[in-house]
Chain A
């Protein structure tokens, strides 16, 4: 089963900044939503969202955790 990495972002309260809280592996975005909600359920999140890591474009460095997606995209 081919899986992709999805980064998980969440905020605790309305108006709080969105924090990167982790990532999950999932075969598609539909399952990624369910897995993210279940894997990171230690807080009563006001809002959670996920982003496919390959959609994140690194800006200022080539050795950060998101840098590989830029290499893949280019």
Chain B
């Protein structure tokens, strides 16, 4: 790739901008893995649970790869992975609360997981070489996540009145904040776009709509404007944070003494 960048090529400001993005992507994948894992045995069928299990493992594997990118900044990823308070977690806002039912899980797949893929695709085509290589591998593994999401949205939308209402409400509920997280419209995001590391916010929003707008419209969900109210620029997301129980699992608190690195 022409104009390929490494950490040594970036000034301190751009390094901080990129670090915010990497931590937010990694946190989102780790918490998304936890939200999927809650449903391995509560999914509508054994096969669905097995598929969710594979997706869980993908997300945690990708989170590990993304945290490891911090080494490129001469930063030990260990404390970021295992020592932060919930208030420091930068995952997509939509994942702060666990899924109440399978429709919520489908919304996480169709909205949050697909939004993650849009950002990864942006990184893969961008100039920051350490991330672009890893992102390509992740995107290849994510292919079946998108297919699972689309199949389940269509299935629930074509089901009972209640199923259609639940999946529509679940997707509509997470879309505004997820779009804001996926496509931040602040100075750090604009600097990343200028450096060619990530596409501009409007480009990523247009890609999401182009790729998933019809699927969601078929379920009765209109594409909303991103909800950027109370934006937390330090973390690159809205206010709030995931609960302590999820963060304890993400950090591996109970098995800290048993870690094998």
Binding site for A on B (CB under 8 A): 44-48, 50-51, 53-54, 144, 147-148, 150-152, 154-155
Q: At the interface, yes or no: A24 with Cβ under 8 Å from chain B?
A: yes
Binding site for B on A (CB under 8 A): 1, 3, 24-28, 30-31, 33-35, 37-39, 41
| B54 CB contacts on chain A under 8 angstroms | 38, 41
CB contacts (< 8 Å) of B151 on chain A: these are: 28, 30-31, 34
Interchain CB contact under 8 A, B45 and A3? yes
Given that A3-B45, A30-B147 are known contacts, is A35 also in contact with B51, CB under 8 Å in the complex? yes
Apart from A31-B47, A35-B48, 5 more pairs, CB < 8 Å:
A28-B151, A28-B155, A34-B147, A38-B54, A39-B51
8 nearest A-B residue pairs (beta carbon): A35-B47, A38-B51, A30-B151, A38-B54, A31-B151, A34-B148, A39-B50, A24-B47
Number of cross-chain contacts by CB at 8 Å: 43
Query: Which residue of chain B has its CB nearest to the CB of A40?
Result: B50
Which one of B47, B147, B150, B155 lies within 8 Å of A39 (CB-CB)?
B47
**In chain A, what residue has the closest Cβ to B159?**
A1
Q: For residue B150, which residues in chain A have a CB less than 8 angstroms away from its CB? A: 30
CA distance A27 to B151 in the complex (A): 10
Q: Which residue of B lies closest to A31 (CB)?
A: B151
Question: Are A25 and B47 in contact (CB-based, < 8 A)?
Answer: yes
* Residue ID in chain A nearest B155 by CB atoms: A27
Question: Are A26 and B47 in contact, with the CB atoms below 8 A?
Answer: yes
A32 to B150, CA, bound (A): 13
* A34 x B44 contact (CB < 8 A): no
